[in-house]
Amino acid sequence: MGVYFYIILNIAMSYCLLHSLYERIYAGKFIIKTKPKKIPVINTMTAVVGGYAAARSFLDYFAGGVGDIYEIFQGVFWMQLCTSQFLGGLSLGIAKGGVYSGDSTVSYFTKWSKVKSYTWISDNVIGFETLTRKGKIFNTELEVDSEQKQEVNRVLKHNLNEIDREVNERGNFKLKVLITLVAVMMIIVNVNLIKISKPYMTRKIKLKEDEAILILKKTWKPLAELNKEKIKSRGEFDKLFQETMTKPMIDELYEILVDGDKSTYGDIKFKEKVRIPTVYDTKMSIEKSYIKAPRYIEGNNQVITEELIIKELLEPYEDGSTSFTRKSTFIKNNNDEWILDSTTGVQSLGSQ
């Protein structure tokens, strides 16, 4: 998951937190309280740990260090989520501004103007028929103590008989001020998150297919021309690919092609039935090729380096060989040339 995902996630979570805060302030004091919601301990622990990691990374960043941008995003997200859950989990019951219904894990706040009707499902459970923002009917329940039934009936009838009931003006003013202050604070937090995440933002630059083919041909040429009889040592094998691949990629290639059980360092034995399809196969085609580059050069400081991504497809052969896709990632070496760094997907065909 990239930085854009976390930016959108945190902005969405900020909206949810504002909404929870709005509901809690609008609801006002509880007239009748029932059971409080249970906030999972794991969520609280995650919020504390995530918040600590986010604060530490924030301090590292502003102190001139690197800081982990993903720790910051995750920490801010968990703090907002748990705060939102806490606001909604203070209690279930009937408040001045509306009803908190639901159970011990999920609650729904409904303004009095949105409560259409209610009925007693049992001696201690009320069923509410409410209206959503789109005017649709939504049913929810609230469990109360049996001895509260008479008081609950009185409060519900009183409030449902009042048309367009609102919280008093002082409460409305307090609501607007607090929501405005919190909204401003969240805007500042999210703007700063976007600002410090700029070095991690990338853009895709399309690479022409013929250019991608040339790079693939250069990369896999040593394999296409490989004479297994002449390659006797691991050193000779590595030297063959050192100009077109990184060392980890060469190691991976060695494990795919060479039979480790039958080989020694000075006398390697290749697997007989294993082959790696490449651009030199007529059935190989390029699905997509692009360069993933930093979106903002200023302040990047090599946080994100350029990568070339090429996605290939091997069509099925007439003998029924399985088709597969492969994603190859290239980076630039010291000579500013693309070399293969890693591959994902099916890498070889034949018996291992």
pLDDT in tens, 143-156: 888 788 888 888 88
Averaged pLDDT score across all residues of the chain: 79
pLDDT of residue 66: 52
Average pLDDT over residues 15-19: 86
Q: Which two tokens stand for residue 212?
A: 């991608």
Looking at the predicted structure, is the pLDDT value of residue 87 above 80? no
In this structure, are residues 69 and 196 in contact, taking their beta carbons and an 8 Å threshold?
A: yes
Q: What is the Cα–Cα distance from 160 to 151, expressed in whole angstroms?
A: 14
pLDDT bracket for residue 44 (50, 70, 90): low
| Nearest residue to 246 (alpha-carbon basis) of 342, 348, 346 | 342
Looking at the predicted structure, is the pLDDT value of residue 36 above 70? no
Q: Can you say whether the dihedral through the CA atoms of 29, 48, 1, 345 is positive or negative? A: negative
Angular region, 21: left φ>0, alpha ψ -120 to 50, beta rest? alpha
| Nearest residue to 192 (alpha-carbon basis) of 338, 21, 57 | 57
Q: What is the Cα–Cα distance from 103 to 92, expressed in whole angstroms?
A: 8
pLDDT of residue 342: 92
Looking at the predicted structure, is the pLDDT value of residue 336 above 80? yes
In this structure, are residues 299 and 198 in contact, taking their beta carbons and an 8 Å threshold?
A: yes
pLDDT of residue 332: 92
Task: Tell me the β-bridge partners of 342.
Answer: 329
Strands (E), the chain: 30-33, 93-95, 98-102, 107-111, 115-120, 125-131, 137-143, 202-206, 284-294, 307-314, 324-332, 338-345
pLDDT of residue 246: 95
Looking at the predicted structure, is the pLDDT value of residue 229 above 90? no
Q: Is 258 helix (H, G, I), strand (E, B) or coil?
A: strand
Compare 15 and 105 and report the one with higher pLDDT.
15
pLDDT of residue 167: 45
CA 266-267-269 angle, 5° bins: 145
